[in-house]
Copies of this chain bind each other. A is one copy, B any other.
Amino acid sequence: MSRSTQRPAPPRRQRTEDRRPQIADAALRILASKGAAHLTAAELGREVGIADSTIFRHYRDMDEVVLAGIDRVRALLDQTFPPPEDPPLARLRALFLGRLALMHEHPAVLRLASSDRLEQVAGPEGARRLRETILRSRRYIEACLREAQARGEIPAQLDATVLGWMVRGTLQVAVASTAGPRSSESRTPEAVWEVVEALLRGARHHVTAGESP
């Protein structure tokens, strides 16, 4: 996925403000395509088109680089929170589809976000920030579910927390199953969501007689 070599050499001598996002993005790209073990200063420099030592002009640490990458991911994730005026299941749908699209476009997000134990990749501070972001998503999703339960759109007797796990888990596996290079069983995001929503709404089936609509 990384096209380090073809990338046209960017103009050298850029300002730190310009370099920092370049580096952070490159870090995410490497993380996504080759994994944490390959995220070295040398590889990063190659990806950006600068010397490895130059990285430390713009970031103090490799840790700081990863942190910056995480913050970019967080920004992306935060953009997918739908407007609060929509009804709960619509918001949930928008979030689900948005995240699916996002992770499809930025595989590194998946790599980071789906890992609940990323102290190793991100250092304690990065882990803290990611956990916070995940927590926000969790709360958001649960709030939507509870609101939908209150409105009687989904069964109230089901534990909203566990329903939240279901939504998040399905999202994770869907991304993983769709994203991989060898995935033979991809589904459109909408199709996935429809199943989730059907489950939530209580898919009646043994449909007895003609009372379906």
User: Contact residues of A with B, CB < 8 Å?
Assistant: 34-38, 111, 114-117, 119-120, 152, 154-159, 161-163, 165-166, 168-174, 176-177, 180, 185, 187, 191-192, 195-196, 198-200, 202-207, 210, 212
Contact = CB atoms under 8 A, between A and B. Distances in A.
B120 A34 contact: yes
A120 B120 CA distance: 14
A65 to B, nearest CB: 16
Contact of A166 (B116, B119, B170): B170
A212 B207 contact: yes
A151 B162 CA distance: 26
Closest 10 CB pairs of A and B: A169-B169, A155-B205, A35-B120, A169-B173, A165-B173, A162-B195, A37-B120, A202-B203, A169-B170, A199-B199
Contacts of A173: 165-166, 168-169, 172
7 contacts: A114-B114, A152-B212, A154-B205, A169-B171, A169-B173, A199-B202, A207-B212
B207 A159 contact: no
Nearest to A39: B120
A58 to B, nearest CB: 16
A169 to B, nearest CB: 3
A158 B36 contact: no
Looking at A159, A169, A203, which has the most chain B CB atoms within 10 Å of its CB? A169
A161 B195 CA distance: 10
Report the copy number of this chain in the oligomer: 4
A120 B152 contact: no
Given A168-B173, A169-B171, A204 B195 contact: no
A35 B166 contact: no
A200 B195 CA distance: 10
A133 to B, nearest CB: 15
Nearest to A157: B205
Contact of A120 (B36, B114, B170): B36
A209 to B, nearest CB: 9
